[in-house]
Amino acid sequence: MLTAKCHCGSVEVNIPRRPRTIANCNCSLCRRYGVLWAYFRAAIVQIKAEPGATQAYGWGRKSLRFVRCSNCGCVVNWERIVPAPERKMGVNARLFEPDQLGPVRIVLLDGASWKVE
């Protein structure tokens, strides 16, 4: 089990294994956040936070929400507005200590070319 925390420690994320790859998305939001995404089935990601410890932001079609710590502002994950355990979610890999992740291949995700309709 790998554990990550936001800067202040108010939000904790647990994943069962290292990601196979990490995505560097260049969409307008991810580029500004400076995140690297590790993708997992939503059902296997555990996020621990007290009520009110997170805030969410949705944009475009509002099919996804980006979750951040209410205290320190670290982006923690993105999740679907309508949860589906078998579907994937993104966890901000930058919250993990580098030695936990080890050598993981980073791939470019060209989110800048997506069209929101």
pLDDT at position 62: 75
The two three-digit tokens of residue 48, written as one number: 């621990």
Confidence of residue 117 (pLDDT cuts 50, 70, 90): very low
pLDDT beyond 60 at 16: yes
pTM here is 0.89
Structural domain count of the chain: 1
Mean of pLDDT over the chain: 91
DSSP code string of 28-85:
HHHHHHT--EEEEEGGG-EEEE-TTSEEEEE-TTS-EEEEEETTT--EEEEEESS--T
Classify 93 as helix, strand or coil: helix
pLDDT at position 85: 65
Distance CA 36, CA 22 (A): 6
CATH at 47: 2.170.150.70
Residue 28, domain extent: 2-113
